[in-house]
Amino acid sequence: MKEIKHFINGEYVGSASGKLFDNVNPVNGQVIARIHEAGEAEVDAAVKAARAALKGPWGRMTVAERTEILHRVADGITARFDEFLEAECLDTGKPKSLASHIDIPRGAANFKVFADLVKNVPTEAFEMATPDGSGALNYGVRRPKGVIGVISPWNLPLLLMTWKVGPALACGNTVVVKPSEETPTTTALLGEVMNAAGVPAGVYNVVHGFGGNSAGAFLTAHPDVDAITFTGETGTGETIMRAAAKGVRQVSLELGGKNAGIVFADCDLDKAIEGTLRSAFANCGQVCLGTERVYVERPIFDEFVARLKAGAEALKIGEPNDPSANFGSLVSHKHREKVLSYYQKAKDEGATVVTGGGVPDMPAHLAGGAWVQPTIWTGLPDDSAVVTEEIFGPCCHIRPFDTEAEAIELANSLPYGLASAIWTENASRAHRVAGQIEAGIVWVNSWFLRDLRTAFGGAKQSGIGREGGVHSLEFYTELKNICVKL
């Protein structure tokens, strides 16, 4: 049985405790590897290695030298594309047709994008008068923040991990990464690419395990971790904030969402149906930016529901290697239990099940997988648990509205504020409504359209801080002012 070890100071090492746990393929329920669980000793060793690397060759490199290495890291991922693709799909159960176009290419691109960005980011300079008339010059310089604790999620394991590691390393920091216990393989595999690209030992470290009383808690509590970046559930983000308060360490948190889509009667209905199908069901609904609440203007409500139903029922459920499949399994049986519990709540609360609502019939060799049906509901009250709580599954509730003001009020009614999508061909309405939506990201007539230079993050309980472009550099660097009297 394959073992997945920690990557510390440039080497793969096992846990001193001997604790291991299963890595399960969600497509068929089979154990595909055993993962070493980090204790305090392994986390401490990783943090010490990262601290030492800051003072070693990595800390002495020029920006040009660092960014050249990061380009080699990106090229190394691309050179082993099929290996990363296979590992990602075994961990997540997602179709290769999806991961090959999004997860692996973006996972590699994150290193190049931030390497190129950091070479050209400006700071500031000010001349000032002094009492003696000689003057002074103030100028800003950016310096690495230090050792960054990176806790990454299971839905887009490589992409969202490198979305943090790429800018952190480009800015000259070192990292200790704790990937999700569900999806550790590509994060571990990246250690080989780092070594081959010439990344000095200790710059990139990986520890495996769980949250409480495991690798996650040990990492966030470690006093030599200078900042923590996390993508995941809001409750876990609150726990991390409490840990980071000791030592007054900065956090960047991209947290939960219960995102709204607003479909006006003047929309291009073909675009709205296609976009909502993607936003509700892509990656089996396991996307933080996905749409679980859909508000449709009443004149087109019935047609929209009927067409979205047809689209959902046309999705091809299958294993990753099936080239015709565009809908995979959930990440784990544990997560399936959560999703199915909401499917049951919807029925208990009197929802009209438009389509789905259960487990699909699968061939015998896939019957042990974490499969669920794409599901659409109507008819639930606005305070229903299914309408107000993040499910993170392939499902959505559709509700009619009558006025623009009502749609805005409904979209803003929850404590989350990550993303929203607006579908209208009226440009004035698009700008007017987008400006009133309480979310960090608002798409108009599109979904998941991302320029990596733009700000990414949530409002309200959906997070703190922004990632992307220069916004990432704000978190991963300390801006220092130097004042020189002339």
Cα four-point dihedral sign 406, 410, 412, 417? negative
- Residue-wise pLDDT tens digits, 415-469: 999 999 999 999 999 999 999 999 999 999 999 999 999 999 999 999 999 999 9
d(Cα 160, Cα 152) in Å, to the nearest integer? 7
CA distances from 399 to 94, 165, 289 (A): 29, 40, 19
What is the secondary structure of 315-379 as a DSSP string?
Answer: --B--TT-TT--B---S-HHHHHHHHHHHHHHHHTT-EEEE--S-----GGGTTS-----EEEE-
Task: Count helices and strands (H / E) in the chain.
Answer: 17, 23
pLDDT at residue number 401: 98
Of 210, 216, 208, which Cα lies nearest the Cα of 149?
216
What pLDDT is stored for residue 236 in this prediction? 97
Please give the distance of CA 294 from its chain centroid, rounded to a whole number. Answer: 22
CATH architecture of 259-451: 3-Layer(aba) Sandwich (3.40)
**288-306 b/e (C-beta count within 10 Å ≥ 16 → b):** bbbbbbbbbbeebbeebbe
Q: CATH 3.40.605.10 in the chain, residues?
A: 3-255+462-485
CB 437 within 8 A of CB 412: yes
| Angle, helices 185-197/81-92, rounded to nearest 10 degrees | 160
Which tokens hold the place of 391? 């499910």
Which of 465, 440, 466, 468 minimizes the C-alpha distance to 452?
468
The H-or-E segment that residue 473 falls in is: helix 469-476
Going by C-alpha positions, the residue among 282, 265, 272 that lies closest to residue 308 is 272
Comma-separated ranges of CATH 3.40.309.10 domains in the chain: 259-451
Q: At what angle do helices 81-92 and 157-170 cross, to 10 degrees?
A: 130
Q: Which amino acid is at 106?
A: R
> For residue 1, what pLDDT is reported?
77
Spatial distance between the Cα atoms of 63 and 170, rounded to a whole number of angstroms: 8
Amino acid identity, position 225: V
What does DSSP assign to residue 284?
G
- 18 Cβ partners below 8 Å, 6+ apart? none
Q: What is the reported pLDDT for 71?
A: 98
DSSP 33-53: EEEEPP-HHHHHHHHHHHHHH
Pick 3-255+462-485's CATH classification: 3.30.420.10, 3.30.420.40, 3.65.10.10, 3.40.605.10: 3.40.605.10
**Residue 232 phi, psi dihedral angles, 5° rounding:** 165, -155
Which residues carry out catalysis? 254, 288
- In the numeric block, the tokens 């009133």 are attached to 436
Q: φ, ψ for residue 362 (rounded to 5)?
A: -120, 155
Average pLDDT by stretches of 10, the chain with 486 residues: 95 97 98 98 98 96 97 98 98 97 97 96 95 98 97 98 98 98 98 98 98 97 98 97 97 97 98 98 98 98 98 97 96 98 98 98 97 98 98 98 98 98 98 98 97 95 96 96 98
- Count of C-beta atoms within a 10 Å radius of residue 331: 26
pLDDT of residue 353: 98
Write out pLDDT tens, residues 271-322: 999 999 999 999 999 999 999 999 999 999 999 999 999 999 999 999 999 9
